[in-house]
């Protein structure tokens, strides 16, 4: 702080630029990351990017039963939740240092 309690605007701008660069780097790393969520011991697998874009769903034919669609639906939903949790944890890990602990919407 400068005399009189006024912040140094040049220093604040440098800090903001550094933070912006760190956020951009973290976003690039998240975009490249792929995480998986599984359910049913691997019978259903969902792949998601670090930014939350779902890329793939794999279903083992053993779990497909026309008389029990509800179980398959539950397994798919569980795998999606598992993948979303992995994505959220990675986003917190990558974005936390870049934002100085601030919570940013969508990350």
Q: How far is CA 71 from CA 47, 56, 58, in A?
A: 20, 19, 15
pLDDT over 90 at 2, yes or no: no
Q: Single out the residue of 32, 30, 33, 38 nearest to residue 80, CA to CA.
A: 38
Is residue 100 very low, low, confident or very high in pLDDT (cuts 50, 70, 90)? low
Q: Single out the residue of 103, 101, 96 nearest to residue 30, CA to CA.
A: 96
Q: What is the pLDDT of residue 103?
A: 55
Q: What is the pLDDT of residue 101?
A: 57
Phi, psi of 34 (to 5 degrees): -125, 130
pLDDT over 80 at 78, yes or no: yes
Q: Single out the residue of 56, 55, 49 nearest to residue 28, CA to CA.
A: 49
């Amino acid at each position: 702080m400068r005399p009189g309690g006024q912040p140094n605007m040049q220093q604040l701008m440098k800090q903001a630029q550094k933070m912006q660069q760190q956020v951009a780097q973290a976003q690039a790393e998240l975009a490249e990351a792929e995480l998986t969520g599984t359910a049913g011991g691997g019978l259903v697998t969902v792949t998601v990017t670090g930014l939350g874009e779902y890329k793939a769903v794999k279903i083992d034919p053993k779990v497909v039963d026309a008389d029990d669609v509800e179980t398959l639906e539950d397994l798919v939903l569980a795998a999606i939740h598992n993948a979303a949790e992995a994505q959220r944890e990675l986003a917190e890990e990558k974005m936390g240092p870049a934002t100085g602990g601030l919570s940013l919407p969508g990350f």
